[in-house]
């Protein structure tokens, strides 16, 4: 069984890849940075030698369909698709730079929309599968300096909710994931020794658990926040 994961070279995407590889799943990985992606793929392949791992760099804000075609060209119908690719830039609607909304919509929404559409015919033909769309608590509640990012994540949540309804008759599950603050490299030198924010592995474990339920059960939404609440 193959799992397709976007934004897989670091952070949440890398943690998800590791969780599934550890449990015997084969991986098809994508991210924009070819060097980081290849390093991640080699690291995982060394650690989990019994699974098959393929990786190829694409900028999904512009090349989501091309990545989808690469998956199909490998003669693979994904069992699980994780739409994780995303970008965050802070700003307020009234003064953020021109083009910021378009940039974040392209990465945070269009990448998942176009990749999913490319892979769905094969998944629907197989009448099985599970799609995880990584949103954010910013999809649920606006916050200061959220601007275009929050708008794009609200849109991603809408896409996911629509997809859930559409895929019910085709036996394909859809789960929307809303993480709060997660400790990744984007936090720089943040001191998380007090466990103030979550670990990427927390998200990965919840996604894996949701993927293991019976055919008759679908976790529609996963909301994860730090124990002490949002920052």
Residue showing tokens 């392209």: 106
CA dihedral 9→14→115→85, nearest 10 degrees, is: -70
97: phi then psi, degrees, rounded to nearest 5: -60, 150
Residue of 2, 25, 110, 149 marked active site: 149
Going 207 to 203 to 33 to 163, the CA torsion angle's sign is positive
Going 10 to 212 to 64 to 73, the CA torsion angle's sign is positive
Would residue 2 show up in a list of annotated catalytic residues for this protein? no
The residues carrying an active-site annotation are 149
């Amino acid at each position: 069984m193959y799992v397709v994961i976007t934004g897989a070279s670091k952070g949440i995407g890398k943690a998800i890849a590791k969780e599934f590889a550890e449990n015997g799943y084969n991986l098809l990985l994508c991210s924009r940075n070819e060097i980081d992606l290849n390093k991640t793929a080699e690291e995982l392949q060394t650690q989990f030698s019994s699974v098959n791992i393929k990786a190829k760099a694409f900028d999904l804000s512009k090349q989501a369909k091309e990545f989808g075609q690469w998956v199909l060209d490998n003669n693979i119908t994904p069992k699980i698709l994780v739409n994780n690719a995303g970008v965050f830039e802070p700003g307020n609607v009234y003064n953020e730079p021109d083009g910021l909304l378009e940039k974040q919509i392209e990465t945070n929404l269009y990448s998942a929309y176009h990749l999913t559409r490319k892979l769905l015919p094969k998944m629907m033909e197989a009448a099985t599968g599970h799609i995880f769309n990584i949103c954010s608590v910013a999809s649920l509640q606006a916050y200061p300096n959220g601007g275009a990012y929050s708008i794009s994540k609200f849109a991603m949540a809408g896409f996911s909710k629509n997809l859930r309804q559409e895929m019910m008759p085709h036996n394909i599950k859809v789960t929307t994931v809303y993480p709060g603050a997660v400790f990744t490299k984007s936090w720089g030198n943040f001191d998380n020794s007090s466990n103030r924010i979550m670990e990427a592995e927390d998200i990965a474990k919840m996604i894996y658990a949701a993927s293991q339920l019976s055919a008759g059960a679908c976790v529609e939404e996963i909301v994860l926040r730090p124990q002490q609440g949002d920052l």
